[in-house]
Every structure is written in structure tokens, then in C-alpha cells.
């Protein structure tokens, strides 16, 4: 067998053995270097890991992670829930609609599905349970809705995509993700409302909901609602770059928590800095060690060989796109978004260029696919978070998860068939697509 095959087999074997993704990438990359190049080339490991993370746009990732944590601790989710409840009023499926809307708005602050799921689940699950919603349904709906966070800007996944795919404008990606993200949320909402009406959930008003007024709750939620406007407005006006937008978001979140909601203290800020550092450290470790795998695969020609093999499967671009989407869906069920981008993009970029797929549109399709994987067992990161909050087993949610997979899969198909859903907004805004 050739060295590149040994490298791929080593990576698969390490994953099956339970070795963390970051170390599986590094060790299999080292195997490729030793067998295909020279043991002396192991001296490049330090350079490759450094070069992988020494990229200015990556600064935005830990900052947006910190933004999500700050808004979560600042009581923003609760205020958004109250405003949405007052706006929608008592009706069958009302709380399901609230959960989806709040998840989408929170996604416009954190860019992280698990953080979004945790913040909303803590607030929504008790209310939904009192209203008659089964915990498995509620946990799955919130997990699925929170997955839209990697579509609605600012998205950590899209930031990484703009780095691994050369020549893609991050502002165009952010703009392109907005309508597909909303479409995905609506796709989840339709079956949720129908199921709630079918089983008669929330037949009586939620206790305390009648005391909520639109004007009062809007005033409380206004700082939270202004956050996405500040981030996207600043990007559109050219006032700051995406990386600078992350700094502005952190500063704004701290001001909201410390001085407006007053649910955040300086001690909390210090704790959140440590928590964000830990989460960011895990993310950056994966990116850094993936640099070894990427360099080894490039030098050995592994990615080129795999891309050529994929292209040789069929000359039909539509059929191949379907195959690629299915492969990414399976990967999304097993791996996190960051690992998928780092592992698969070196292979998929040549395929994308061969069939002349628009890179912005293709990036949104990948993000939608990965979003589905975030609430699809067995490794459903969002679902793990919400089931832990709900104190139920992951297996109890499988039926509901499949329902929402089909729903969001329909939204994915629409974006694939009609690329203008994703490309219209960045084109109108004058970004390069």
C-alpha cells in the first residue's frame, strides 16, 4: 500500500479506537510523513502547527465564543423569550414558535450551535414542559433550531470555511447564510406547529404569560435585538472587519450584561474569560494539529488523488453534489463542524473547482448539512446539550430528530435547487460571489 493510504487508514483506525480528532489528525499526518517523505521531515511539525493558527481571521473565533457566553450569562435569552411570548400570545404551538425564533436570534450573537442550545434550553424547557410538551420533543426542537447558528451570521463555521477556501469573502458568506438560516428555521417550525396542534399541546395559556406586554418586553429585549444589527450593520457599512466585529460584539455584550441587565458582574466576566479560553483552546488545538495532516496530505498528493477519484465517479455534477452532501451528512453525524471542514475541504475544493460550483453557495450547502448533523444521533453535539438540560436519554429523541432532519433536508434541497436563495443578498450588497 502507498503511504497516503497508510495515512488515511491510520486516521480511521485512531478515530475508531477513540483517540480525539485533533490527535488522530496529528498522528496520522506523522505516519504519512515518516512513510512517504522522510523521518527527518518530522522537524516540520512545529512549523506546520504554528502556520495553521497564525491567521488573523481566526482571532474572531474565540471572541465570538466569548460573546455567546457573555450574552448567555447576561440573561438575554430570558428577555428574548418573554418578548417572543408577548408577541405571539397563547396558541397551540406558541412556545415551539418562541423556541425557534429565540434560537435564531441567539445564533445571530454567538455563532455557535451548542452555546445557543444551552442558553435557550435552560429558559425554554421548564415552560414547555409545564405547557404539556414532551421533554424529548422540546429538547430536539431546541437542538435543531440552535443548529441554525452556524448559518446565521456571525458563524464560527463560516469563518473557518473562508480561511480554508482561498478567495472567499467572509462578508459574502455571512450575507449568504442569512436567508438559508431563516429558511431552515421555518422548515423546523412547520412540523413543530403541526405536531403541537395534532396532540393538543399548549392548549391552555402558560402561567404568567398573560402578564407580559409587547411594549414592556420589547424594551427589555431591545439590547439583545440590537446586537445582530450592530454586528451586521458594522460589516455592511465597512466600519469594521469581521474580526473587528467580534471585538465589538464582546464589548457590547459586556456593556449589556454589566450596566443594562445588571446580571453580569466583574467576577462573572473573569470566569467567562477562562471558560472561553478553554473552549477556544480545544478549537485551536484541532486547527493546529490538523495542519500536520493537511501538510502531509498535500505533499503526498493524497487529497489530489481522492479528489480525482471522486470526480471520476460521474460526469454528472448534480449526482456528484448529492453524493457529496450525503457524505458530509454522515460525517456531520460523527464529527464536529470544525473537524469536517479541516478534513474534507482539501478534498472537496478541487471537486468544487472542477464542476465550477459557486464557492459561496457551496459553503452554505455544507454549513446546512453540518447543521443537520448537529442534532442527528449518534454524535449530536446540540442534542447532547439539550438532553443533559432536560435530564433525558439521547435515545428518546431519535424519532423527533428524524422528523426535523427531513424538514431541514427539504430546506437544504431548496437552496441546492435555487442558489439565488443564498446568493441574492450578497449580490445586492455588492460582495464578490
pLDDT of amino acid 417: 94
Residue that wins the pLDDT comparison between 374 and 319: 319
Mean pLDDT of the chain: 85
Asked whether residue 159 is assigned to any structural domain, the reply reads yes
Residue that wins the pLDDT comparison between 125 and 206: 125
Please give the Cα distance from 332 to 146 (Å, whole number): 15
Q: Residue 204 pLDDT > 60, yes or no?
A: no
Please give the Cα distance from 268 to 250 (Å, whole number): 14
Q: How far from each other are the two terminal CA atoms of the chain, in whole angstroms?
A: 41
Rounded average pLDDT over 13-41:
86
Secondary structure (3-state) at 155: coil
Please give the Cα distance from 384 to 55 (Å, whole number): 31
pLDDT of amino acid 134: 92
Helix crossing, 398-417 with 420-428: angle to 10°?
60
pLDDT of amino acid 35: 87
Asked whether residue 310 is assigned to any structural domain, the reply reads yes
Rounded average pLDDT over 361-371:
93
pTM of the model: 0.86
Rounded average pLDDT over 389-413:
91
The band of 57, judged by pLDDT with boundaries at 50, 70 and 90, is confident
pLDDT of amino acid 279: 81
Q: Residue 412 pLDDT > 60, yes or no?
A: yes
Residue 335 sits in which domain range? Answer: 56-286+301-428
Q: Given phi > 0 = left and psi -120 to 50 = alpha, else beta, which region is 259?
A: alpha
Asked whether residue 190 is assigned to any structural domain, the reply reads yes
Q: Specify the number of domains making up the chain.
A: 1
pLDDT of amino acid 210: 52
Residue that wins the pLDDT comparison between 273 and 245: 273
193 contacts 272 by C-beta, under 8 angstroms: no
Asked whether residue 29 is assigned to any structural domain, the reply reads no
Rounded average pLDDT over 113-120:
80
pLDDT of amino acid 411: 95
Q: Mean pLDDT lowest for which of 130-139, 161-170, 331-340?
A: 331-340
408 contacts 188 by C-beta, under 8 angstroms: yes
Rounded average pLDDT over 135-150:
91
The band of 203, judged by pLDDT with boundaries at 50, 70 and 90, is low
The band of 219, judged by pLDDT with boundaries at 50, 70 and 90, is confident
Q: Residue 248's CB: how many other CB atoms inside 10 A?
A: 18
249 contacts 230 by C-beta, under 8 angstroms: yes
Rounded average pLDDT over 81-97:
78
Q: Residue 207 pLDDT > 80, yes or no?
A: no
The band of 262, judged by pLDDT with boundaries at 50, 70 and 90, is confident
Asked whether residue 249 is assigned to any structural domain, the reply reads yes
Whose cell is 485551536? That residue is 284
Please give the Cα distance from 21 to 41 (Å, whole number): 22
Asked whether residue 278 is assigned to any structural domain, the reply reads yes
Asked whether residue 371 is assigned to any structural domain, the reply reads yes
Asked whether residue 20 is assigned to any structural domain, the reply reads no
pLDDT of amino acid 402: 92
Amino acid at each position: 500500500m502507498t503511504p497516503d493510504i497508510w495515512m488515511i487508514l491510520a486516521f480511521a483506525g485512531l478515530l475508531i479506537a477513540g483517540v480525539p480528532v485533533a490527535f488522530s489528525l496529528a498522528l496520522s499526518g506523522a505516519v504519512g510523513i515518516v512513510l512517504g517523505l522522510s523521518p527527518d521531515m518530522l522537524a516540520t511539525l512545529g512549523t506546520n502547527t504554528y502556520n495553521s493558527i497564525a491567521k488573523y481571521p481566526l482571532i474572531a473565533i474565540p471572541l465570538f465564543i466569548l460573546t455567546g457566553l457573555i450574552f448567555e450569562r447576561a440573561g438575554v435569552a430570558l428577555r428574548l423569550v418573554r418578548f417572543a411570548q408577548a408577541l405571539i400570545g397563547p396558541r397551540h404551538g406558541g412556545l415551539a414558535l418562541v423556541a425557534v425564533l429565540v434560537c435564531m436570534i441567539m445564533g445571530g450573537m454567538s455563532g455557535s450551535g451548542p452555546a445557543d442550545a444551552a442558553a435557550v434550553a435552560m429558559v425554554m424547557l421548564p415552560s414547555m414542559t409545564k405547557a404539556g410538551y414532551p421533554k424529548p420533543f422540546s429538547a430536539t426542537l431546541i437542538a435543531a433550531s440552535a443548529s441554525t447558528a452556524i448559518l446565521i451570521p456571525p458563524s464560527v463555521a463560516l469563518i473557518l470555511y473562508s480561511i480554508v477556501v482561498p478567495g472567499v469573502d467572509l462578508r459574502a458568506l455571512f450575507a449568504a447564510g442569512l436567508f438559508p438560516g431563516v429558511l431552515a428555521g421555518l422548515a423546523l417550525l412547520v412540523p413543530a406547529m403541526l405536531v403541537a396542534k395534532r396532540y393538543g399541546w399548549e392548549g391552555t395559556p402558560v402561567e404568567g404569560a398573560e402578564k407580559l406586554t409587547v411594549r414592556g418586553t420589547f424594551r427589555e429585549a431591545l439590547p439583545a435585538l440590537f446586537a445582530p444589527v450592530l454586528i451586521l450593520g458594522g460589516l455592511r457599512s465597512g466600519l469594521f472587519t469581521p474580526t473587528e466585529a467580534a471585538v465589538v460584539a464582546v464589548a457590547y455584550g459586556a456593556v449589556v450584561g454589566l450596566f443594562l441587565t445588571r446580571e453580569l458582574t466583574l467576577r462573572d466576566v473573569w470566569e467567562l474569560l477562562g471558560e472561553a479560553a478553554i473552549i477556544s483552546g480545544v478549537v485551536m488545538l484541532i486547527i493546529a494539529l490538523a495542519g500536520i495532516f493537511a501538510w502531509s496530505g498535500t505533499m503526498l498528493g493524497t487529497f489530489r488523488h481522492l479528489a480525482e477519484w471522486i470526480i471520476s465517479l460521474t460526469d454528472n455534477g448534480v449526482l456528484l453534489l448529492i453524493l457529496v452532501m450525503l457524505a458530509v451528512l454522515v460525517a456531520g453525524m460523527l464529527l464536529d463542524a470544525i473537524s469536517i471542514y479541516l478534513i474534507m475541504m482539501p478534498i472537496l475544493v478541487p471537486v468544487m473547482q472542477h464542476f465550477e460550483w459557486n464557492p459561496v453557495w457551496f459553503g452554505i450547502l455544507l454549513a446546512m448539512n453540518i447543521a443537520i448533523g448537529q442534532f442527528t444521533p449518534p454524535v449530536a453535539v446540540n442534542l447532547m446539550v439539550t438532553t443533559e438540560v432536560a435530564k433525558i436519554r439521547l435515545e428518546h429523541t431519535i424519532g423527533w430528530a428524524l422528523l426535523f432532519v427531513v424538514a431541514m433536508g427539504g430546506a437544504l434541497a431548496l437552496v441546492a435547487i435555487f442558489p439565488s436563495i443564498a446568493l441574492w443578498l450578497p449580490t445586492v450588497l455588492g460582495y464578490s460571489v
